[in-house]
Amino acid sequence: MTSRYFGITRVRFPYALLMRPWLNWIERVATDHKVGGSSPSGRTTFMDEHEKWMTKALQEAKEALREDEVPVGAVVVHQEKIIGRGHNMTERLQDPTAHAEMIALSAAANTLGTWRLEGASLYVTLEPCPMCAGAVVLARIENVFFGAPDPKAGACSSQYNIVQDGRLNHRSNVISGVLRGECEELLKSFFQKVREKT
């Protein structure tokens, strides 16, 4: 293409053509990051893997529900295996620290024989509270995935962000909203029944 300025012919460079390969590469890298594998029927997305583990945490939450506990469940995953699992047992044990995450982290440490859970991921149906977020930092958990946010006591983004506090000696990656609908529905149904009883 050409254009004329003050009698001088100027060649207009087709920047869009130059940028297209670069944009294609960016798009491909972004897609590869989200893709966890492939199959004849299509590609399995990156989130499918996380939803699989969150489903296991939901199973723990349902176990808590059967025990009349607040339905929160958690699993710790390391090298594609569950090394610790737990659900709320505060009422059953009459222990204020018996949250799903605390139980799962303790079980994971026992499995690996070390309190340093480096490279491990925590999947929990409700955003961790300050106590559990502190335990995540101490255990050196690499990734935290949670389903439902906790606007009152959440310590991974809602009220605080302990697990990513730059003043501490460890920070975790955080991904929220994994199977959020299922996690929230379980909690809503529990508290609805509690209100009906009172």
* Three-state secondary structure call for residue 148: strand
Where helices occur in 96-179 by DSSP H, the ranges are: 100-112, 130-138
Q: Cβ distance 82 to 75 under 8 Å?
A: yes
Where residue 195 falls (left for φ over 0; alpha for ψ -120 to 50; beta otherwise) is alpha
101 annotated active-site: yes
Of the candidates 133, 134, 121, 36, the one whose C-alpha atom is nearest the C-alpha of residue 83 is 121
State the angle between helix axes of 180-197 and 46-66 in degrees (0 to 180), rounded to the nearest 10. 20
Q: Which among 51, 101, 127, 184 is annotated as catalytic?
A: 101
Q: What six digits make up the tokens of 78?
A: 């390391």
Catalytic sites, residue numbers: 101
